[in-house]
Amino acid sequence: MNRVLLAIPVYNEERYLDRVISEVRRHASDILVIDDGSTDRTPLLLASHPVEVIRHATNRGYGRSMQDMMRWADVDSYDWLITMDCDEQHEPAAIPMFVEALRGDDADVISGSRYLLSAASDDAPPPDRRSINATITAEINARLGLGLTDSFCGFKAYRISAVKRLDLDVDGYDFPMQFWVQAAAHRLRIREVPVRLIYNDPTRTFGGPLNDATVRLETYQRTLCRELRRCADRLPREALSELGALATSRRCA
């Protein structure tokens, strides 16, 4: 039987944390929370829940939290890691679907997609986020030969024996760019599963310069380009071919 760790990165989530953790506990027994330097009541609230906690003394970024989750799962001999967010945009009720999906032997990454299927209950994402997601997803697919519909969804399951071979060191929100390139370079098997599209708080921000959509897109493209060059010898020929905004940008020089 697979050992599965459910992990959640949090940063100043006092508004949602109690409800999310309580609901997650209905579907998972082994739970890890990465408190990424919260300055609100998040640490105090976490203390009342029977979950493992890694606390960063300062905010180190989403990607750093992902790296810590994968290391913990590996060191503690888990077979799979399921990750989800704590802002009520990922439904804990979908956890059993991921657990069922990972029982097969046809995937190393089971990636949630908010755009694989549409439903009347779906929320409308902020236009800049949907546009950037579509742009980057198309670029990743064209270069890496993937068929993703949602390259940014954080609701995922990772086979630890597969992802432990990756050399991941991007600490920010551009972490998925590095992950997808390395997943392709290591020939990981990827399968998408549909998850509900929820945007219950469209005013939530990334913080800092990434709140500017242009800066955010440039950051993602720069990280994608850097990782493509880093892994070029293990990628298909199309990976560094001249196509799309990325190749014509000085960020890929």
Q: What is the pLDDT of residues 93-151, one digit of tens each?
A: 999 999 999 998 999 999 999 999 887 777 888 899 999 999 999 999 999 999 999 99
Q: What is the pLDDT of residues 149-194, one digit of tens each?
A: 999 999 999 999 999 999 999 999 999 999 999 999 999 999 999 9
Q: Report d(CA 253, CA 244) in Å as an integer.
A: 14
Q: pTM of the predicted model, to two decimals?
A: 0.94
In sequence order, which residues have a C-beta less than 8 Å from that of residue 180 and are 6 or more positions away? 140, 144, 146, 148, 151
In sequence order, which residues have a C-beta less than 8 Å from that of residue 59 and are 6 or more positions away? 11, 36, 37
Q: What is the pLDDT of residues 41-55, one digit of tens each?
A: 999 999 999 999 999
Task: Please say if the pLDDT value at position 250 is more than 50.
Answer: no
pLDDT of residue 120: 75
Give the residue carrying structure tokens 């209950």: 121
Residue-wise burial string across 120-150, b where 16 or more C-beta atoms lie within 10 A, e elsewhere: eeeeebeeeeeebbebbbebbeebbeeebbb
- Burial of residue 233, with CB atoms counted within 10 A of its CB: 0-12 exposed, 13-18 middle, 19 or more buried: exposed
DSSP conformational letter for 107: -
Match domain 4-125+149-205 to its CATH number in 2.60.40.10, 3.40.50.2300, 3.90.550.10, 3.40.50.720: 3.90.550.10
> At 242, which amino acid appears?
E
Give the closest residue to 20 by CA, choosing from 96, 70, 85. Answer: 85
